[in-house]
Chains A and B, each alone.
Chain A
Amino acid sequence: MMDKSMNKNAFTTSKSNPNQSLKDSLQKRFSSRLGENIIGIILLACAAVSVLTTAGVVISLGSETISFFADPLVSVWSFLTDREWTPFFSEKHFGITPLIVGTLLVTVISLVVGIPLGLGSAIFLSEFATDRTRRIIMPILEILAGIPTVVLGYFALFSITPILKSFIPGLGTQNALAAGIVMGFMILPTISSISVDSMQAVPGRLREAAYGLGSTKAEVITKVVLPAALSGIVASIILAMSRAIGETMVVTLAAGARPVITFDPRDAIATMTAFIANAAQSDQEAGSVGAKALFAVGATLFLITLLLNIISHQVVARFSEKYD
């Protein structure tokens, strides 16, 4: 009570006892400092969640993968060299090659479709489109990126495959081609948005210099803008590749669950992600070698995508041209 009344009449009290008022305000300052520190600690704890997430990924993948390789049925050597992947059969083989080949096949198809689409749309958006057109088209591409992959998987299976079947003989009901084509569209926004950014970052004076030398618009784009923006474009393609490798639902629905070594895009194949998705739904007992195989494939997938992401950032960091 006493304190409160003193605060109310700060003017008079400070006159009678200046030290008391200073002490009060310092005390206040101190308690608020304490509050500040607590807030800082809470914020730091939240920031640490992302570190814990990484630790969680590494521990969950690592520990189960180690116990997978500790199983007498498996060895690192057979994992890398065996040409069959049959973890749920009575005669078990654990060679990851078919899954890697399947993943690569779909990824290559998606890049063959996605790179021209992504680059083309990036050139249009960055060099030809007016501001208004860009404002309309950019959100539409964002919507394309936002369509759930399970929807696109259905689309590949029930719409694209029947169309392809009408002119490609021998196309399976589930096949790498339809999945790859749809995934090409899926990675379009990734390639496009990053490439647009790096093309817009090319300074106007480079373009104007090229025009000044008598270049046409097409020559400015292909001989000046694209080479200058190359690092961003390459990075976007690597990032898109990583997306395609990690994509699950489209390949699970449309490309199948058949781990064989084939390079024929008309065949059903199995990717690493499709195996994980299917294994998660099978009634494997937790702790069995088949269930651990899921983690080993997950670890392989994680390492590959991590490597690609790091390369992509290195490309940007090391090869991007600096204009000042």
Chain B
Amino acid sequence: MDKAVKSLLSAEEHRQLKARQRRGEILRYVSFIPVVLALVLILFVFLTNINNSFVWQLVERGGSGETFARSEVPNAEAAFKLELAARGMTPEEIEETLTDPEERRKFLLRNRADYLLEANGEPNRVVVYTIDRGIADDIDKQYGYIQGRQQKAELEAQAQEENLDLFLNPLLDKEFISRNNSAKPQMAGFHTAIIGTLWVISLVIIISTFIGVATAIYLEEYAQKGRFSNFLEVNLRNLAGVPSIVYGILGLYVFVRAFNMQKSVIAAALTLSLLILPVVVIAAREAIRAVPDSLRQASYGLGATKWQTVSRVILPNAVSGIVTGIILAVARAIGETAPLLLVGGAGFITTIPGGRDFLFDSYSAMPLQIYSYFATPDQAFKEIASAGILVLLAILIFIYLIAFVIRARFTRKW
């Protein structure tokens, strides 16, 4: 503080001033705490799910009981050959099992190769799981990475004693996202859920973009300011605040029952489209409003009609804002679970929608699949849910990044 100022203040006043300034500094740090906490929470969510996806498993396993070095088996096929040999088959028998279509189908149904970071103390192994013993649980114990690491000595001792295998299994691997779901944790995959989400969300993008952008154009460019447009605006604002589960009830009553769409891809897509419609409209309106009036007037001045102005002047200039808004809204739709519980997405399903009538097929979706893992009594599914969560989060982060890049790169300043 200035000497001149200091001399004007008494010692008491000086102390008070110092205290007041200190309070300001304290407020700065206190107000930063929530930001830190939010960051910690996000990190914590990611780390726990990563930790849960690398599991130490004590497994009682059918099959030969052997594991193979990753370097020896370039692919699953090679692993199957080694495994069958280890089971005591002759090369001719192996050849027949893997080439005869019927035999092969049976074999693939009951066996699968899995990559392990560590198996019984050896790194980088491949194992072939067998479910010859029906679908009884063969995972004896399963721990997240850190917990398993801490108890590793005990786990090893137990494995020795009870003749079990101790695996460090990265649940989230290539097979996890390419395999259909199964009631057995070793075989469970996320493919059905990913494809289900892909179908539903593609339809959502088409429906909500068309209706949402059209509504925004109508409100911004066509509607006369008056009672009706006011009503539309209030209505949209209130719809934006309706809880997602109420949209689920709407979908259940209107699409599933009244329109008799049953528990189908199209019923889910329509429900989610209505859910994100207000968000899309609001974003599109903001983008359209940001286009300066001078451009509109120039277009009209050249004799363009209204639609020519909208389609050739306004939309091209508003497209980055509209696209960003749609992407963020769709990201929300991807994560929605509650409405899908009501319009009947299947938690457990082992086939994907397909064929000519795919719109009316039953489906699963990523968040729904994650929720249904929770409902399974088998504890091993808790960690599989974590692997699914990581897939979902990775997809969402990718989508957010795209939105941020578009917003930063392509937004025009007027």
For B39, the chain A residues whose CB sits under 8 A away are 140
Question: Contact at B335–A147, with CB atoms within 8 Å?
Answer: yes
- Contact digits for A155-178, partner B, Cβ 8 Å, 1 yes 0 no: 101110000000000000000000
A310 at the interface (CB under 8 A from B): yes
What residue of chain B has the Cβ atom nearest to residue A151's Cβ?
B389
Question: Contact at A218–B335, with CB atoms within 8 Å?
Answer: no
B315 at the interface (CB under 8 A from A): no
Q: How far is the CB of A291 from chain B (nearest CB, A)?
A: 10
For A273, the chain B residues whose CB sits under 8 A away are 243, 245, 338
- Contact digits for A265-288, partner B, Cβ 8 Å, 1 yes 0 no: 000000001001100110000100
Q: How far is the CB of B18 from chain A (nearest CB, A)?
A: 10
How many Å lie between the Cα of A241 and that of B356 in the bound state?
Answer: 45
Given known contacts A154-B389, A295-B249, is B41 in contact with A144 (CB within 8 Å)?
yes
Of the candidates A151, A216, A222, A313, which one forms a contact with B370 in the assembled complex, judged by CB atoms under 8 Å apart? A151
B290 at the interface (CB under 8 A from A): no
How many Å lie between the Cα of A249 and that of B264 in the bound state?
Answer: 22
A90 at the interface (CB under 8 A from B): no
Q: How far is the CB of B205 from chain A (nearest CB, A)?
A: 16
Question: Contact at A301–B246, with CB atoms within 8 Å?
Answer: yes
Question: Contact at B245–A277, with CB atoms within 8 Å?
Answer: yes
- Contact digits for A60-100, partner B, Cβ 8 Å, 1 yes 0 no: 11001000000000000000000000000000000000000
Interface residues in A248-269 by Cβ distance below 8 A to B read 248-249, 252-253
For B179, the chain A residues whose CB sits under 8 A away are none
For B24, the chain A residues whose CB sits under 8 A away are 216-219
Interface residues in B1-59 by Cβ distance below 8 A to A read 20-21, 23-24, 26-28, 30-35, 37-39, 41-42, 44-45, 48-49, 52
A107 at the interface (CB under 8 A from B): no
How many Å lie between the Cα of A75 and that of B250 in the bound state?
Answer: 24
Total interface residues in chain B, CB < 8 Å? 84
B215 at the interface (CB under 8 A from A): yes
Question: Contact at B31–A302, with CB atoms within 8 Å?
Answer: no
Given known contacts A44-B218, A50-B281, A121-B35, is B246 in contact with A57 (CB within 8 Å)?
yes
How many Å lie between the Cα of A51 and that of B382 in the bound state?
Answer: 42
Q: How far is the CB of A224 from chain B (nearest CB, A)?
A: 13
Q: How far is the CB of B179 from chain A (nearest CB, A)?
A: 21
Of the candidates B38, B218, B397, which one forms a contact with A121 in the assembled complex, judged by CB atoms under 8 Å apart? B38
Question: Contact at B336–A298, with CB atoms within 8 Å?
Answer: no
Question: Contact at A148–B337, with CB atoms within 8 Å?
Answer: yes
For B385, the chain A residues whose CB sits under 8 A away are 154
Q: How far is the CB of B13 from chain A (nearest CB, A)?
A: 11
Q: How far is the CB of A30 from chain B (nearest CB, A)?
A: 12
Question: Contact at A50–B235, with CB atoms within 8 Å?
Answer: yes
Question: Contact at A276–B245, with CB atoms within 8 Å?
Answer: yes
For A219, the chain B residues whose CB sits under 8 A away are 20, 24
Question: Contact at B30–A120, with CB atoms within 8 Å?
Answer: yes
Question: Contact at A150–B335, with CB atoms within 8 Å?
Answer: yes
B107 at the interface (CB under 8 A from A): no
Given known contacts A128-B32, A143-B400, A152-B45, is B222 in contact with A40 (CB within 8 Å)?
yes
For A146, the chain B residues whose CB sits under 8 A away are 328, 331-332, 335, 396, 400
A49 at the interface (CB under 8 A from B): yes
Question: Contact at B34–A51, with CB atoms within 8 Å?
Answer: no
Indicate the member of B223, B274, B371, B397 with the most A CB atoms within 10 Å: B371
Given known contacts A120-B34, A154-B385, A246-B243, is B214 in contact with A46 (CB within 8 Å)?
yes
Question: Contact at B239–A53, with CB atoms within 8 Å?
Answer: yes
How many Å lie between the Cα of A40 and that of B217 in the bound state?
Answer: 10
For A142, the chain B residues whose CB sits under 8 A away are 328, 400
A1 at the interface (CB under 8 A from B): no
B342 at the interface (CB under 8 A from A): yes
For A148, the chain B residues whose CB sits under 8 A away are 334-337, 367, 392, 396
Q: How many A-B residue pairs have CB under 8 A?
A: 245
- Contact digits for A285-308, partner B, Cβ 8 Å, 1 yes 0 no: 010000000110010011001101
For A221, the chain B residues whose CB sits under 8 A away are 27
For B338, the chain A residues whose CB sits under 8 A away are 149, 248-249, 252, 273, 277
How many Å lie between the Cα of A47 and that of B338 in the bound state?
Answer: 26
Given known contacts A148-B367, A188-B38, A216-B20, is B337 in contact with A305 (CB within 8 Å)?
no
Question: Contact at B342–A147, with CB atoms within 8 Å?
Answer: no
How many Å lie between the Cα of A152 and that of B44 in the bound state?
Answer: 11
A245 at the interface (CB under 8 A from B): yes
How many Å lie between the Cα of A117 and that of B217 in the bound state?
Answer: 38
For A22, the chain B residues whose CB sits under 8 A away are none
Question: Contact at A150–B337, with CB atoms within 8 Å?
Answer: yes
- Contact digits for A125-154, partner B, Cβ 8 Å, 1 yes 0 no: 101100000000101111110111111101
Question: Contact at A47–B238, with CB atoms within 8 Å?
Answer: no
Question: Contact at A150–B371, with CB atoms within 8 Å?
Answer: yes
Question: Contact at A137–B35, with CB atoms within 8 Å?
Answer: yes
Instruction: Say which one of A4-12, A31-39, A201-209 lies at the interface with B.
Output: A31-39
For A218, the chain B residues whose CB sits under 8 A away are 20, 23-24, 26-27
Question: Contact at B252–A280, with CB atoms within 8 Å?
Answer: yes
Of the candidates A36, A51, A301, which one forms a contact with B235 in the assembled complex, judged by CB atoms under 8 Å apart? A51
Question: Contact at B307–A35, with CB atoms within 8 Å?
Answer: yes
B206 at the interface (CB under 8 A from A): no
For A112, the chain B residues whose CB sits under 8 A away are none
For A159, the chain B residues whose CB sits under 8 A away are 44-45, 48
Other A-B pairs, 7, CB within 8 Å; known A36-B305, A302-B246: A53-B239, A64-B253, A141-B38, A151-B49, A188-B34, A273-B243, A305-B242
22 A–B contacts, CB within 8 A, in A order = A44-B222, A46-B210, A47-B218, A49-B215, A49-B277, A51-B231, A53-B277, A116-B34, A121-B35, A123-B31, A142-B400, A146-B335, A147-B42, A147-B396, A239-B241, A246-B245, A252-B338, A277-B245, A286-B257, A294-B249, A305-B243, A313-B237
